[in-house]
Structure 1
């Protein structure tokens, strides 16, 4: 049985064939027990809920190492639950903290103007800065502008999947491409 008692963790029903717990898991269990004592004193509902969830997670890890279910004594309610390896049971009605919202339709009507704004802003800014850099340092604007584009590329690539931020990312990418075309044409002409 996994329970927090007086700031310590008690692991009952240990068998001789059970492997020893890794140091990091032992440290996590000690930290959880200390937090359970503090949360029990404060009485804050969020802290109590956190102690319950973390205790179930740790019980699931212990069960995974032992290869069998572990009895978990909830220090906040005194309820004993059996936790199987690899799963932390959830109580009915508990809220999910990392719920992913389903994707809705793509907002083209508002997204394209945002992308266009960023494209114009970035294109004008890049052309002006590169032109000033070219006047001062000659063709050194080319590697400097390449560094800017290559430095922004990973962030723009990652932002393409984030619902709102995809529009500024698309606009920035288009703006950089347009700026390069304008700068090359101005250099040739």
Structure 2
């Protein structure tokens, strides 16, 4: 039995290994059986691949729901639809190590990105894996720092006008109702702040 709270960053690697072990061979992608790494998705557009083979109906549904979450709900700030992918009690782990509980707090945090970068979007999922109740998806989050950013102390950081495009990964733990009970978000904050001119 999995301890759902102890998965963390190791879940992403475990899912990748599981996909390879179950017969989704990397070598199948090339005719000469050599590894052809993809370019950096944040700097070179990578098309969204088809869903992996041999998924169960539930695994396929989780990945399709996640695509809809990022490509439509998040990208167009349709917060009234976040419940389609997130449980009301969802725990969300952020890249800086803190976590939040509950969908309302998660909506508040996501909406805060759009205050200073209203064109924030995710349009690409270069890698998508699923096994049982776990999904691991990589994406590219991008936008432009065009409006004042609250500094958390009552003031604002003036916009730099700089664009950002960062690679990210999300590991989700899904329940039987088809929503995530827990979500782990990963990206490099240093790269993020450098790109928007704050580091």
TM-score by length of 2: 0.24
Higher strand share: 2
Higher helix share: 1
Between 1 and 2, higher relative CO (CA 8 Å, sep ≥ 6) is seen in 2
TM-score by length of 1: 0.25
Larger radius of gyration: 1
